[in-house]
Chain A
């Protein structure tokens, strides 16, 4: 699979650049508006997680690689921080009242809910989170 790639320093300010890159790839692929929106939220959540946790003591980089696999848009987000599978985090309780709601824990939940498939692997010293969004809605066509 051929990937369009971008690398940047894992700092939240770079979100705008990341967003433009991924949004541009999604447009070239022809992802519909709703899925494109979900993709951009999922990308922000993955990126912010890396900015917050991957490099506690030093500056580090993040790579975004967009590709096409048949009818699916694929995005791999990778870092070379300590091994960490973000998918092991539990989902938040989304039914609690305002005062009981925890501030946080929603990011990974959004990644799961707004993509069609998400998987983690550790490869060559890198954490790789693979997000897949299919062109058509699951269960239709």
Chain B
């Protein structure tokens, strides 16, 4: 997995590519948790380059979403599609997270 973060207005955009699995999910969780500890509370995660996710990956996403909800923050997921979307849908995560068709659309709902 490759991961990049950048600031867009009040939000942190997190780009993840490759695989979010039992090996890589801790890296995602640590990066986002550190940013939350640093005071960031608005996140957009861009899934455009993600081609695989397992329950360990979803668990990482859920941990960060719970942390943010407790702090009055928010996290939105952009470009969740294909087989990754199917995993979201089977797990019920597709309906509990806020999903957008693009990073721009996610940012527009925030500002």
A residues contacting B by CB (< 8 A) are: 12-13, 15-16, 33-34, 37, 40-41, 44-45, 48, 51, 94-99, 101, 103-104, 106-107, 109-110, 113-114
Give the residues in chain A near B69, CB-CB below 8 Å. Answer: 98-99
Give the residues in chain B near A45, CB-CB below 8 Å. Answer: 54-55
Give the residues in chain B near A12, CB-CB below 8 Å. Answer: 22-23
Closest to B96 in A: A98
**Smallest Cβ distance from A81 to chain B, in angstroms?**
18
If over half of A's interface residues share one DSSP class (helix, strand or loop), that class is named, otherwise mixed; here it is: helix
Give the residues in chain B near A103, CB-CB below 8 Å. Answer: 59, 62-63
16 interchain pairs, CB-CB under 8 A: A13-B23, A16-B23, A34-B86, A44-B22, A48-B55, A48-B56, A94-B90, A96-B96, A98-B65, A99-B69, A101-B92, A103-B62, A103-B63, A104-B55, A106-B91, A107-B54
Does B21 interact with chain A (Cβ within 8 Å)? yes
CA separation between A139 and B30, bound complex, in Å? Answer: 44
CB pair B23–A109 under 8 Å, yes or no, is no
B residues contacting A by CB (< 8 A) are: 21-23, 52-56, 58-59, 62-63, 65-66, 69, 83, 86-87, 90-92, 96-97
CA separation between A51 and B56, bound complex, in Å? Answer: 13
CA separation between A44 and B56, bound complex, in Å? Answer: 9
Give the residues in chain B near A99, CB-CB below 8 Å. Answer: 66, 69
Decide yes or no: A37 and B96 within 8 Å by CB, A13-B23, A98-B69, A103-B63 being known contacts: no
**Smallest Cβ distance from B52 to chain A, in angstroms?**
7
